[in-house]
């Protein structure tokens, strides 16, 4: 039985990844600083660990065949983005080499650019690109590579318990209309189960190969492209707001959108929108056709409306 170490395994995507891996016979370890009320899936081994402690991380990785990294933040300062998306990934890369881990699957983001990371429009995307670059450097340390690397770049991820469509549906239950920043931004939403399958298939793609292959970067996107306005309207309709009509959506001009985002950042808790989110939306969150997609892993991407209607109706 192969052993896989899943970073971020207690989160929205991570729980589904763990479930997929367990169903296919993998032994799953999930490091955590704070134990959740229940493991992400029955059979997952939770390990108390400070993942930023490189020596402890290296010891914990020994004996594992693969690592999946799902750790990410959407909001924060330049320092916090670099801490999570760059410095932690650099530690992971060194720890994998030292511990003899043979496969790494890293979940990044559409818009990340490992070749020119600083060209991206937001702190989030720049740090994601720098993290990819760190892994690519580590994978190229020797010939053959020390580990086989797969980078997945998903668009926005939807599914039950998501913090995307559910948020827009909930807001429309209380607001008379939706003032929307970045209304024209384009997304290609991907179902969380398809992302989980992509992680699994990435780990399985070389089970018959004795030496790690070249790094592979894929774009994980759904079959349909939506503007943010269309997604907000769809969330309202599917959740039954105003008899299935949803609230009117009012697109904000850029100056007012940035003011709104600034005010949201000042509120307690995680903001619905930040100025860095707006900067990220300057880059269309859609597949560009230059990289392989889910179909290259044998996955047919699932359309959003049928899945979203199954969980938004009860929000």
CATH number at residue 75: 3.40.50.720
Is residue 295 one of the residues assigned to a domain?
no
Is residue 146 one of the residues assigned to a domain?
yes
Q: Both 181 and 42 in a single domain?
A: no
Q: Both 149 and 176 in a single domain?
A: no
- Which tens digits make up the pLDDT trace of 260-285? 999 999 888 888 899 999 999 999 99
Q: At what angle do helices 228-238 and 304-312 cross, to 10 degrees?
A: 40
Q: Both 264 and 214 in a single domain?
A: no
Question: What's the rounded Cα separation, in Å, for the pair 180 and 261?
Answer: 10
CA distances from 294 to 149, 202, 207, 223 (A): 16, 10, 19, 10
pTM, rounded to two decimals: 0.94
> Is the pLDDT at 315 greater than 60, yes or no?
no
Is residue 291 one of the residues assigned to a domain?
no
Domain holding 241, by residue range, is 165-186+224-285+300-312
Q: Both 106 and 128 in a single domain?
A: yes
Q: Both 136 and 58 in a single domain?
A: yes
Identify the pLDDT of residue 209.
44
Domains in the chain: how many in total?
Answer: 2
* Mean pLDDT, rounded, for 187-204: 97
Q: Both 120 and 131 in a single domain?
A: yes
Written as six digits, the tokens of 19 are 């479930």
**Given its phi and psi angles, is residue 70 left (phi above 0), alpha (psi -120 to 50 degrees) or beta?**
alpha
Q: Both 234 and 109 in a single domain?
A: no
Is residue 293 one of the residues assigned to a domain?
no
- Which tens digits make up the pLDDT trace of 53-66? 999 999 999 999 99
DSSP letter for each residue of 6-39: EETTTSHHHHHHHHHHHHTT-EEEEEESS--SS-
> Is the pLDDT at 23 greater than 50, yes or no?
yes
Assign 3-class secondary structure to 215-247. CEEEEECCCCCEEHHHHHHHHHHHCCHHHHCCC
Is residue 10 one of the residues assigned to a domain?
yes
Is residue 294 one of the residues assigned to a domain?
no
Is residue 135 one of the residues assigned to a domain?
yes
Identify the pLDDT of residue 207.
47
Q: Both 34 and 176 in a single domain?
A: no
* Mean pLDDT, rounded, for 65-72: 97
- Which tens digits make up the pLDDT trace of 216-257? 999 999 999 999 999 999 999 999 999 999 999 999 999 999
Q: Both 182 and 193 in a single domain?
A: no
Q: Both 269 and 193 in a single domain?
A: no
Q: Both 251 and 236 in a single domain?
A: yes
Q: Both 208 and 235 in a single domain?
A: no
């Amino acid at each position: 039985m192969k052993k896989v170490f899943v970073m971020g395994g207690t989160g929205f995507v991570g729980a589904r990844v763990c479930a997929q891996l367990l169903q296919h016979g993998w032994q799953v370890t999930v490091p955590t600083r704070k134990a959740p009320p229940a493991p992400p899936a029955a059979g997952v081994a939770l390990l108390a660990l400070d993942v930023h402690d490189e020596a402890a991380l290296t010891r914990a990785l020994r004996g594992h065949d693969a690592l999946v990294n799902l750790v990410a933040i959407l909001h924060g300062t330049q320092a916090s983005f670099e801490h999570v998306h760059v410095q932690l990934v650099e530690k992971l890369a060194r720890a994998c080499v030292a511990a003899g881990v043979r496969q790494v699957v890293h979940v990044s983001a559409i818009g990340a650019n490992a070749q020119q990371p600083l060209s991206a429009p937001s702190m989030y995307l720049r740090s994601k690109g720098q993290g990819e670059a760190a892994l690519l450097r580590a994978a190229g340390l020797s010939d053959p590579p020390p580990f086989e690397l797969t980078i997945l770049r998903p668009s926005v991820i939807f599914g039950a318990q998501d913090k995307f469509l559910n948020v827009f549906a909930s807001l429309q239950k209380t607001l008379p209309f939706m003032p929307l920043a970045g209304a024209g931004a384009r997304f290609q939403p991907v179902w969380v189960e398809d992302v989980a399958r992509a992680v699994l298939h990435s780990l399985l793609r070389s089970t018959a190969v004795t030496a790690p292959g070249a790094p592979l970067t894929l774009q994980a996107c759904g079959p349909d492209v939506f503007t943010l306005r269309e997604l907000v309207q769809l969330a309202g309709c599917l959740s039954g707001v105003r008899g299935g009509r949803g609230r009117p959506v009012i697109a904000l001009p850029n100056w007012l959108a940035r003011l709104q985002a600034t005010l949201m950042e000042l509120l307690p808790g995680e903001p619905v929108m930040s100025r860095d989110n707006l900067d990220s939306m300057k880059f269309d969150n859609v597949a560009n056709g230059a990289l392989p997609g889910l179909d290259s892993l044998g996955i047919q991407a699932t359309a959003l409306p049928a899945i979203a209607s199954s969980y938004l109706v009860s929000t």
